[in-house]
Amino acid sequence: MPSYSLHHIHHEAADVPAAIKFYESVFDATSEDPFIKDGAPWCFVHIGDVQITVTGREASDIELCRYKGVDHFALATDDFDATMARIEEKGVSIWFGPKNATPNRMVFIDGPDNVKIELLEK
């Protein structure tokens, strides 16, 4: 049987530089040099081992709500309290929580372009 691992999350952004700045500011992400592919800006952003491919292609808006398809992505943190402090320091909007759920504390935040991001305690 083949084995699998997550390769990347693809974020279609209305403002590519702003999305990159969000990930760098909130998560200390690193980013590769942006490039143009098929007339659109692209950039590979890295949060630890997670790659987020940020592109600026034309798309229609979708409301931040529950819908069919991918609902959110989740990042685990080894210091939930420091993560919450960072979110508050950066003025990031909280969509839901924080919640002291068993077995992990968790919170959902608003990312750029209505991307919901779950942060949970390892």
* 3 state SS of 36: strand
63 with 70: CB under 8 angstroms?
no
1-57: CATH topology: 2,3-Dihydroxybiphenyl 1,2-Dioxygenase; domain 1 (3.10.180)
Nearest to 27 by CA among 93, 75, 73, 67: 75
pLDDT, position 73: 94
CATH of domain 70-122: 3.10.180.10
Query: What are 99's two structure tokens?
Result: 């919640």
Which residue spans of the chain are classified as CATH 3.10.180.10?
Answer: 1-57, 70-122
pLDDT, position 63: 65
CA–CA gap between residue 51 and residue 117 (Å, rounded): 14
pTM of the predicted model as reported, rounded to 2 decimal places: 0.86
pLDDT, position 103: 79
Which residues of the chain have a pLDDT value below 70?
Answer: 59-69
pLDDT, position 31: 98
pLDDT, position 79: 93
**CB within 8 Å of 120: residues ≥ 6 apart:** 74, 75, 76, 77, 80, 104, 105, 106, 107
* Helix spans in 1-79 (H): 16-27
pLDDT, position 62: 65
95 with 109: CB under 8 angstroms?
yes
Other C-beta atoms lying within 10 Å of the C-beta of residue 43: 21
Nearest to 15 by CA among 46, 73, 57: 57
pLDDT, position 2: 87
